[in-house]
Amino acid sequence: MRKDIVLSRRKIRFLMIKNNLVSKYTKLKYRNHKTMVNNDQISNVLNRQFNNKKPNEVVVSDLTYVQVGGKWHYICLLIDLFNREIIGYSVRPKKPLN
């Protein structure tokens, strides 16, 4: 006869350590990857003057990553500072080259 037993993760961990057991299943975790960082000095052309008079006068970009379907994807957005509108984007499963 089988009985269903409900245990917390903490209790299972304790029992596994006590009996020298190791799980084959591991949960995927984000790991910070050390890479070369661009430390070039860039001049401050805008000098925090973000109130533009014309569309497409100043366009800024941002590269970030999001997790989609358990995999990391990179997204690059182009934003017009005139009205804060996204005017372009690119999405890739791998980091774009230069």
Which residues, in sequence order, are CB contacts of 68 under 8 Å at separation 6+? none
Q: Which tokens in the block code for residue 54? A: 């014309």
Cα gap 98→80, rounded to integer Å = 22
pLDDT digits (tens, 9 = 90+) for 14-63: 999 999 998 877 676 777 776 666 677 888 888 888 788 888 888 999 88
Q: Whole-model pTM above 0.75?
A: no
pLDDT of residue 37: 67
Which candidate, 66, 86, 62, places its Cα nearest to that of 74?
A: 66
